[in-house]
Amino acid sequence: MTRILVINGPNLNLLGLREPQVYGHETLADIVNDLRSYAADRGVELSDFQSNSEGELVSAIHASRETVDGIILNAGAYTHYSIALRDAISGVALPVVETHLSNVHSREAFRHETVLAPVCLGVVAGFGRHSYFVALEALLRHLGHEAG
């Protein structure tokens, strides 16, 4: 069975409350539960992890090295400056899709730079909750996963 880990970084635990005009009204649990059902329909086991701590995110990536086939990562603000996350991604040699709810390129200039993208399989941004589903589909295609 294909196993995917969804990792969410800082402030994503506040989805539904934090800037709903940017991030929407759904909670992270709503999105992850729907994504888990979507994955299960395709014969994929989906697990998730959220932390506001950079070190815990790095540890989650390290721990996934031999337990999952790929990662969907919304690193939040760490996307723009975390060399530690970048090195963790490089170190585990798993396919990672960087994912964002908002279009980071249409927002403040500091959000335009991602230090993670060069070590990721690809980047999906700007589609709200659907960014996670697009990321999952891209990751599954990359892995050659056959549905069911």
Mean pLDDT of the chain: 92
Mean pLDDT along residues 12-32: 84
State the pLDDT at residue 16. Answer: 84
- Give yes or no: 100 in active site: yes
Which tens digits make up the pLDDT trace of 60-115? 999 999 999 999 999 999 999 999 999 999 999 999 999 999 876 656 666 657 99
Report the C-alpha gap between 40 and 21 in whole angstroms: 30
Phi, psi (degrees; rounded to nearest 5) at 4:
-125, 140
For the chain, the C-alpha Rg in angstroms (whole number) is: 14
CATH superfamily ID and name for 2-143: Dehydroquinase, class II (3.40.50.9100)
* Active-site hit among 38, 62, 81, 100: 100
Active site residue 132: no
Among 23, 78, 132, 145, the active-site one is: 23
Instruction: Kindly provide the b/e burial profile for residues 85-113, where b requires at least 16 CB atoms within 10 angstroms of the residue's own CB.
Output: bbebbeebebbbbbbbbbebeeeeeebee
Q: Report DSSP state, residue 103.
A: -
135 pLDDT above the threshold of 80: yes
Rounded distance, CA 58 to CA 90, Å?
11
Predicted pLDDT of residue 37: 98
* Whole-angstrom distance, CA of residue 61 vs CA of residue 39: 20
Domain map (residue ranges) of the chain: 2-143
